[in-house]
Structure 1
Amino acid sequence: MPMWRRNLIVCWFGMFVTGVGMSQVAPILPLYIEQLGVHNTALIAQLSGIAFGITYIVSAVFSPIWGQAADRFGRKPMLLRASLGMAVVIGCMGFAHNVYVLIGLRILQGAITGYGTACTTLIATQTDKEHAGWALGTLSTANIAGSLLGPTIGGFVAEHFGLQDSFFITGVLLLVAFLTTLLFVKETFVREHQKTLGIKETWRIVPEKSLTLTMFVTFFVLTVALYSVEPIITVYITELSGNTGHIALLAGLAFSASGLANIISAPRLGKLSDQIGAHKVILAALIVAGLIFIPQALAQNSWQFIGFRFLFGIAAAGLIPSVNILIKKITPDALTGRVFGFNMSAGYLGVFAGSILGGQVAAWFGIRAVFWITSVLLLVSAVWVYFKVYQKLNNHELALGQNAD
């Protein structure tokens, strides 16, 4: 088995577990904060929002730092640092004796993250051009599936084993990710002896600044769209369902449907990107994903909604891998870690902004408005990508074809 394929398998597992670790706390935070001694409903909601969002904000700050470290010291050391650090920190959350310790640990979790950045950089730099789309598409399913299935997994573990055990079990899984990374990930890394560059200096030597910045903005919008509905899915299922006895199960299925579809579709769309170009796949996926949000807003029952979430997952599977493929294509290997770090920061900010956007829109305009606004956001993004990315790369391909003739 080629080294990059073996590394891809290990990284997939590690990114899935870290995705679960980042998101599994969402449904149990209010319950755990109450268990830690906070009994005022309004204060629980406020502290839950802070504890959940702060991790992503801190991750956005530290992601470029760890990306730069990956370029300087290698990607495997960053994988080991992040997986072991998160295993310890998330495990310690189960021992928190008050809410302020919990929030402090959530801040520390955000600071030591970087597993996904290092994995993406490792696979992007090791994989040959012919398989890059398929590999990055497959890898992207891990983080997305982990993030989308995490709340369901967290809720299931909490219900059957207890709130504290949710953190202990996730910590053990991350420890397994650390051990598999230590034993099975192989990297031939040659450190380039050069001056350590700051953010401004790094940005100055990025060759395709305009296109790179467009990718960052696109990735931010994509994650906003992916996570805008997460805060309101359970409430929406309650509104759609006449059987209130199975709300938790139906909400779990709604969360899981798009994640399952993503796992099925992303490798295939990644392979398609290798064949026809990532800029074509991302444009089509944006349009289809934007349109599928419309029937989600019009769903008449929970099963219809779950079906539309599955269809959305199929389309969304072509988005994040295409962004990663395009970034790999326009970025020199020596800068890959740093550029992917910046891109991951945009993604973390998008998760936070999407969660805030969904909750605020639902509160002011109603739950169905969240789907309409997200649809518009994706379709506007498609127009943006058409003019800023698609036309430029399409013309470049045509020019290469004419030169070849």
Structure 2
Amino acid sequence: MAVSVISNRAALRSLFVIQLLSMGAMEMSAPFWPQHLRALGHLTSHELALASGIAYAGPMWMAMCLTPWWGRLGDRIGHKPMLLRALLALAVTQLWIASADDTVTILVARLVQGALAGFIAAAQAYGACLVPSDKRGSLMAKLQVATAVGAMTGPLAGGWIFDALGFRTLNVVAAAICLVCAIVASRVLPTALPLASNPSLGMSPQKPFTFGAVYGLVFAIVLVQTGKMMPQTFFGLFAEQVLHTPAWVTGLCYGAPALGLCIAAPFWAKRFENKPRAVILSQVQWICWACAAIVAVQATSRELSLFVLARVLWGVCMAALLPVFFGLLSREADTHQQGRVLGVGNSAAKAGALFGAIAGSLILAWIPIHYAFWPVVAIYAMAAMGLRAMRKRPGPIQQQRTTGLHKSKLSPIQPINQGKQ
């Protein structure tokens, strides 16, 4: 038994490093798509805007549509093959992009990349099969930290490579990193999942999955991801026109939430570990209200130090949202259905990102830049009220299961008489 636990811990550490490196590799090119597309051909400003939009939003759209399917396939054949498939797809499509000489080919490669990848969902499902159900929230937080660190370090490394060697070399380097990650994953990560077949270690018994059990969490994921993504569209203009900051300060402010997320994610994971869902939802509801208040500070503050502090605190609060929601989603299914339920959650996150980008564009077009953050405040208020309704209202998420976590404890989110049935 001790050997299995140690093996799983080593696998989780390896998974963390692989996710950090692969996501960092994919973020290396993120800031530079408009420049590269402009350099490829004679595009008008409208054509460049459209091509850039497809380059950014196209992969998210494809992943949103296909990630649940990949998750269900992983439930049938195993999640390690899905990890390897995603990493190899990233490597091949990055090489395709590096060799492409026209805009259309690059955009097609980006769409194929979104359709075939889905690494984050595969990593979550694989990791969920290595830990007991009450530890899955902590797992999601650690994987979120890996993604956040990759998102911070990737563009920095990408900027250096872009300036020194160009966009094509940047993509070749990213492909090489993903290929190395795939080779390491194939050799290091175990195929057998000891905890998946050991109910004594806290794994939930197999039970049918119903969307009704998770619809509230999916809706919450869409809202908080929308709120997170909305400012990205107008943030640069807000910093320039309202805060009057130089470019390097704008970059500092832009990355500040990721710093807060990395610092706070382990704290929130530990705080919510082994907590009943009613308690978690109650506390996350207040965290959403805190997000609304902190974004309101960003909307009204003209003092740079206070603005940066608010950005960091926003990241601290965001660290308690998506990882916690994914952890609760993972609890709603047994180890044989992790790919499906987490695929649905990741599709919701992609949908929220798309809605956020669209909403941010509409804000930029219709709302004066001084008031651009106020719709974000409204989104977080909606999320808080939705969580309150989900917690108070009897429904599938309140009644679905108690046997999968701790059979000796009755979750306060259930009706009392259900424990006597």
Give the structure-2-normalised TM-score. 0.84
One-letter identity of the residue aligned with 2:412: L
Residue 118 of structure 1 pairs with residue 118 of structure 2? no
Q: How does 1:36-115 map to 2 (within 5 A)?
A: 36-115=40-119
Residue 7 of structure 1 pairs with residue 7 of structure 2? no
Paired residue for 1:171, among 168, 172, 175?
175
Residues 1:82 and 1:123: Cα distance change in structure 2 (over 3 Å): same
Contact 1:131 1:271 in 2 (8 A): no
Provide the C-alpha distance between the structure 1 equivalents of 2:326 and 2:183, rounded to a whole number of angstroms: 27
The offset of 1:275, in angstroms, is 4.2
Q: Structure 1: 5+ residue runs without aligned partners?
A: 193-203
The offset of 1:390, in angstroms, is 6.0
Provide the C-alpha distance between the structure 2 equivalents of 1:228 and 1:399, rounded to a whole number of angstroms: 32
Partner of 2:190, secondary structure, is coil
Q: How does 1:230-249 map to 2 (within 5 A)?
A: 230-242=232-244, 244=246, 247=247, 249=248
Pairs aligned (count): 389
The offset of 1:41, in angstroms, is 2.1
Provide the C-alpha distance between the structure 1 equivalents of 2:60 and 2:143, rounded to a whole number of angstroms: 20
Partner of 1:276, secondary structure, is coil
The offset of 1:366, in angstroms, is 2.5
Residue 34 of structure 1 pairs with residue 38 of structure 2? yes
Provide the C-alpha distance between the structure 2 equivalents of 1:361 and 1:219, rounded to a whole number of angstroms: 21
Give the structure-1-normalised TM-score. 0.87
Contact 2:61 2:350 in 1 (8 A): yes
After the TM superposition, list the runs of 4 or more consecutive aligned residues in structure 1 that deviate by more than 6 angstroms: 393-396, 399-405
Paired residue for 2:411, among 374, 397, 404?
397
One-letter identity of the residue aligned with 1:8: L
Contact 2:133 2:331 in 1 (8 A): no
Residues 1:166 and 1:316: Cα distance change in structure 2 (over 3 Å): same
Per-residue CA distance 1:278-331 (angstroms, 9 max, x = gap) = 323422321211221101112314443332111100000000111111112221
Provide the C-alpha distance between the structure 2 equivalents of 1:8 and 1:221, rounded to a whole number of angstroms: 29
- Correspondence for 2:271: 272
Paired residue for 1:369, among 368, 371, 391?
371
One-letter identity of the residue aligned with 1:375: V
Per-residue CA distance 1:96-136 (angstroms, 9 max, x = gap) = 10100110110111011121111111222221245332222
Contact 1:362 1:368 in 2 (8 A): no
Residues 1:142 and 1:368: Cα distance change in structure 2 (over 3 Å): farther
Residues 1:3 and 1:379: Cα distance change in structure 2 (over 3 Å): farther
The offset of 1:365, in angstroms, is 0.2
Contact 2:20 2:147 in 1 (8 A): yes
Provide the C-alpha distance between the structure 2 equivalents of 1:110 and 1:399, rounded to a whole number of angstroms: 38
- Correspondence for 1:212: 214
Provide the C-alpha distance between the structure 1 equivalents of 2:218 and 2:387, rounded to a whole number of angstroms: 11
Q: Could you tell me the percent identity over the aligned residues?
A: 22
Contact 1:93 1:105 in 2 (8 A): yes
- Correspondence for 1:250: 249
Provide the C-alpha distance between the structure 1 equivalents of 2:296 and 2:249, rounded to a whole number of angstroms: 20
Contact 1:59 1:348 in 2 (8 A): yes
The offset of 1:88, in angstroms, is 1.8
Per-residue CA distance 1:315-348 (angstroms, 9 max, x = gap) = 0000011111111222122221111111111111
Q: How does 1:139-218 map to 2 (within 5 A)?
A: 139-147=143-151, 150-151=154-155, 153-189=157-193, 205-207=208-210, 209-218=211-220
Q: Structure 2: 5+ residue runs without aligned partners?
A: 197-206, 400-409
Paired residue for 2:322, among 315, 320, 323?
320
One-letter identity of the residue aligned with 2:216: T
Per-residue CA distance 1:379-398 (angstroms, 9 max, x = gap) = 11111111113665789623
Partner of 2:273, secondary structure, is helix
Contact 2:37 2:48 in 1 (8 A): yes
Provide the C-alpha distance between the structure 2 equivalents of 1:390 and 1:242, rounded to a whole number of angstroms: 45
- Correspondence for 2:334: 332
Partner of 1:279, secondary structure, is helix
Contact 2:29 2:167 in 1 (8 A): no
Residues 1:216 and 1:363: Cα distance change in structure 2 (over 3 Å): same
Q: How does 1:332-371 map to 2 (within 5 A)?
A: 332-371=334-373
- Correspondence for 2:402: none
Contact 1:55 1:106 in 2 (8 A): yes
Partner of 2:99, secondary structure, is coil
- Correspondence for 1:228: 230
Residues 1:323 and 1:359: Cα distance change in structure 2 (over 3 Å): same
Partner of 1:228, secondary structure, is helix
Residues 1:54 and 1:374: Cα distance change in structure 2 (over 3 Å): same
Partner of 2:101, secondary structure, is coil
Residues 1:337 and 1:243: Cα distance change in structure 2 (over 3 Å): closer
Partner of 2:385, secondary structure, is helix
What is the alpha-carbon root mean square deviation over aligned residues?
2.8
Contact 2:90 2:117 in 1 (8 A): yes
Provide the C-alpha distance between the structure 1 equivalents of 2:236 and 2:8, rounded to a whole number of angstroms: 39
- Correspondence for 1:378: 380
The offset of 1:359, in angstroms, is 1.9
One-letter identity of the residue aligned with 1:230: Q
One-letter identity of the residue aligned with 2:48: I
Per-residue CA distance 1:217-248 (angstroms, 9 max, x = gap) = 1111121111111122222222245454xx0x
Provide the C-alpha distance between the structure 1 equivalents of 2:332 and 2:245, rounded to a whole number of angstroms: 51
- Correspondence for 1:198: none
Residues 1:272 and 1:153: Cα distance change in structure 2 (over 3 Å): same
